[in-house]
Amino acid sequence: MSSEENLRIGVYPGSFDPITRGHLDIIERSSRIFDRLVVGVLINSAKKPLFSADERVKMIQSVTRHLPNVEVRFFDGLTVDFAQSEHAHVIVRGLRAVTDFEYELQMAQMNYTMRPGIDTIFLTTDLRYAYLSSSIVREVAQYGGDISRFVPEEIVPLVKQKIRDSDGGGQTQEVR
């Protein structure tokens, strides 16, 4: 029996394009629930990302430096397969509002049907971040708005630079 089997391991999947203060809040709280939390950055999103998967992984690593039991990796394919490969028994999702619920319920039920050994738990998002999403952050940045309340401090200049580099908000062509 591997020692991993005795650990409480969770995965927190998402696009994180870019990571917001809302995501970080979920990561910090989840890191207290699990022995090991693996943040999974989805590569093959239907969305065309602003940041490459490598960039998104590095950004999350830099803002979770203070959390020793948090690891960050990108993944492709199904979240349940990623969870299985990480020996995780739990998928963590954040619920911002009731509008998230229907989609999240469907995804959790589908995931449970595919892998009954892996449960989904939901953390309610901190009210301060209930309205946040990565695309809203990208949009505000694109029009020169202040995003410092929405993303961790060190992410602010990276988003601004990326928007400048991509000539007003174009998308990266990289997949990772």
The footprint of ligand COA (CB under 6 A) covers: 13-15, 17, 20, 22-23, 26, 42, 45, 78-79, 94, 96, 107, 110-111, 125, 129, 132-135
Token code pair at residue 13: 């999947």
Find all residues with CB under 8 Å of 109, minimum gap 6, and list them: none
- Tell me the closest approach of the beta carbon of residue 36 to ligand COA, in angstroms: 19
Is 48 an annotated catalytic residue?
A: no
What is the smallest separation between the CB atom of 77 and ligand COA, expressed in angstroms?
Answer: 7
CA dist 97 and 70 (Å) reads 26
Smallest gap from Cβ 41 to ligand COA, in A, equals 9
Assess whether 29 carries a catalytic annotation. Answer: no
The residue nearest ligand COA at its CB is 22
Whichever of 1 and 89 has its CB closer to ligand COA, that residue is: 89
Q: β-pairing, 119-124 with 9-14?
A: unpaired
Question: Which residue in the block uniquely carries the two structure tokens 């490459």?
Answer: 52
87 is catalytic: no
160 noted as active-site residue:
no
Radius of gyration of the chain (CA): 16
* Joined tokens for residue 46: 């239907």
Catalytic residues: 23, 47, 96, 134
